[in-house]
Structure 1
Amino acid sequence: MLATLIADDSQNYSVTQGNVTYQLRWCDEVNSTQPNATVLKTEDKKIQVVGRLTKTDIVRIGNAWYVTFGDGDRNLADGHNETWKAFVEVQCQEKYENFSVLQPVNAAGFVWFQLYSNLVCLPPVTTPRPGPTPTPTPAPVPPEHTSKWTVFFMLIITAGICYLVIGMAYRRFVLGAKGLEQVPNYDFWRDPCGYTRLRAH
């Protein structure tokens, strides 16, 4: 995300405190008269380099980025001989941009800036939409339960067919019967009532 902000090297940030103006430009010189100067301090029309591109450190802690630009001009004020450094704290802010000085240059030659920008905000996390629900396969219909009476009648019919086929084969091939005489017990089936009457006498 910080790369998006750094890539926008056309953006100049500036803040004024009293008669001192600070300017910041990412990955480019603020002006061509100061080589590699990315942070400048202007006081009473005197320009001094606070930080240069050639000495940059970047650290990320949580959602904040901390960028240090070192190798600035020497801070000769009050007898100090330190080189100035710029410390920029970059925070996410969706609605506005703001560049401010949290702590002006101190005895150690350190200037602490704070920059709020939407360019360093993480994109919102999108949850994928669930796909279409697959149509469930209908469960196979179990076969209907066969009743006891169905089994009984099927056995009777099967026994009758076996009786007829085996009896006809026996009478034809063993006894040499022809035509209707091949039917087993032909005399009985021809006139079962008469057969019963004969047995009664």
Structure 2
Amino acid sequence: MVKHLLIFLFAAFLVLVSTAEQKDCTFPRYKSNDKRKKGEDQIELLKGRRYQFEDKYYKYHVGICTDAMDPYPEDKKDVWTDAAVIQINKTNSEDAHVIGKITEADIIAGPDWVMLEYNNGEKYGTHCEGQDGNNENRRAKIMFICDHTVDDGEPYIIEEQNGKTESCYYLFGFDTQVVCKTTTPKVTVKSGLSVGSVLLIVFVCVAGVYLLAGLLYNRFVVHAKGIEQIPNLSFWRDFGNLQADGCDLVCRSGRSREPRTYKGIGDDQLGEDEPITSDEHLLPM
């Protein structure tokens, strides 16, 4: 019984020690905590999370203010101490590098973005050779970008800038609404058809059924041939004239011209402007 109690106390002690030694980002280049507090506050909900993703050639392990992997492989515990970002070749696991450390962090914050930088990674072997002949240490930059449509998000590789003599880096993107400070609501895109689209589809379907049914009826019941198979052909032939008549009736408001009457020779000498409507004057008295 005493033995089991001692084991339990020892296990509890280990848990407390591991909790007390939980690592976090340290910013040795900042003299004041106020300079980095804004950025840390914006990514507070993401701190302590680990992510794993890959591109065409490499796998990446990224920790947000925590170790990139837990636990580390036995043969890498000493080499990968405090590693925040680790790159592993997909075809050769021995080709692995620490890109940045959580004990060498920088942070910059804007209204809707945060840049977290891990420095002092392993040295480049053949890239980023300075004028002094020494290769630079790797570094990782994680750009947290406000996106109201993404709840938490996860990092992804954008590029590795290793074609310079200094300031080489790995750039990672991280789209998330966690760093959003604006009150812009989520943009929701409504799926489905509009009312106009539905009406157009219904019209096309009805017209198609009307035309097909009319053709079949005229061909097999009425035994029509050629163009006569079109349903209600006489109506469609007069359709343009009907439209013109309707337009003339509705749109033209002027008086129509009175028909001209025939006047014979010498009628102008009668001095009558009104047209002659009867021929009674021609009868003998």
* Coarse TM-score class (shorter-chain normalised): 0.5 to 0.7
In the TM superposition, residue 67 of structure 1 has moved relative to its aligned partner by: 1.4
Structure 1, residues 139-166: CA drift from partner, whole Å, max 9, x if none? Answer: xxxxxxxxxxxxxxxxxxxxxxxxxxxx
Q: In the alignment, is residue 61 of structure 1 matched against residue 100 of structure 2?
A: no
Q: Does the 8 A contact of 1:6 with 1:26 survive in 2?
A: no
Cα separation, partners in 2 of 1:15 and 1:35, compared to 1, 3 Å: same
Structure 2 counterpart of 1:110: 169
DSSP-derived class of the 1:107 partner: coil
Q: Would the alpha carbon gap of residues 40 and 121 (structure 1) be closer, same or farther in structure 2, given more than 3 Å must change?
A: same
C-alpha separation in 2, matches of 1:79 and 1:116: 29
Aligned twin of 1:136: none
Normalising by structure 1, we get a TM-score of: 0.54
Query: What is the one-letter code of the residue matched to 1:95?
Result: T
Q: Which of 129, 132, 136 is the aligned partner of 1:82?
A: 136
- The alpha-carbon deviation at position 6 of structure 1 amounts to 4.1
In structure 2, the partner of 1:35 is 81
CA shift for structure 1 position 13: 2.4
Query: 2: CA distance between counterparts of 1:63 and 1:9?
Result: 17
Q: Are the counterparts in 1 of residues 111 and 182 from structure 2 also a CA contact under 8 Å? A: no
Residues 119 and 84 of structure 1, relative CA distance in 2, 3 Å threshold: same
Q: Which has the higher strand share?
A: 1
What one-letter code is carried by the residue in structure 2 that aligns with 1:117?
Answer: T
Q: Distance between the aligned counterparts of 1:119 and 1:63, measured in 2?
A: 9
Shift of 1:107: 3.3
1:89-108 equivalent positions in 2, closer than 5 A: 89-96=143-150, 97-108=153-164
Percent of paired sites with the same residue = 15
The 3 A distance-change label for structure 1 pair 65 and 19 is same
Q: 1:21 aligns with which of 59, 74, 84?
A: 59
What's the offset of the Cα at 1:123? Answer: 6.6
On the 8 A contact 1:7/1:26 being kept in 2, the answer is: no
User: Aligned partner of 1:118: which letter?
Assistant: Q
* Amino acid paired to 1:83: N
**Contact 2:67/2:82 (CA < 8 Å) preserved in 1?**
yes
Q: In structure 1, which of residues 34, 37, 47 is the aligned counterpart of residue 96 of structure 2?
A: 47
Counterpart CA distance in 2 for 1:11 and 1:65 is 16
Determine the C-alpha separation between the residues in 2 that align with 1:123 and 1:64.
11
Count matched residues: 125
Q: Check conservation: 1:37, 1:49, Cα contact below 8 A.
A: yes
Please give the secondary structure, in 2, of the residue aligned with 1:55.
strand
Q: 1:100 to 1:85 in 2, by over 3 A?
A: same
Q: 1:76 to 1:118 in 2, by over 3 A?
A: same
Give the secondary structure class of the aligned counterpart of 1:73: coil
Partner AA of 1:38 in structure 2: A
Question: What RMSD over aligned residues (CA atoms) do the two structures have, in Å?
Answer: 2.4
- Following the alignment from structure 2 to structure 1, what is the Cα–Cα distance between the partners of residues 128 and 108? 31
Give the drift of 1:16. 1.3
Contact 2:139 2:170 in 1 (8 A): yes
Gaps of 5+ in 2: 1-38, 130-134, 185-285
Higher Rg of the two aligned structures = 1
d(CA) in 2 for partners of 1:124, 1:79? 42
Query: Which of 159, 180, 186 is equivalent to 1:121?
Result: 180
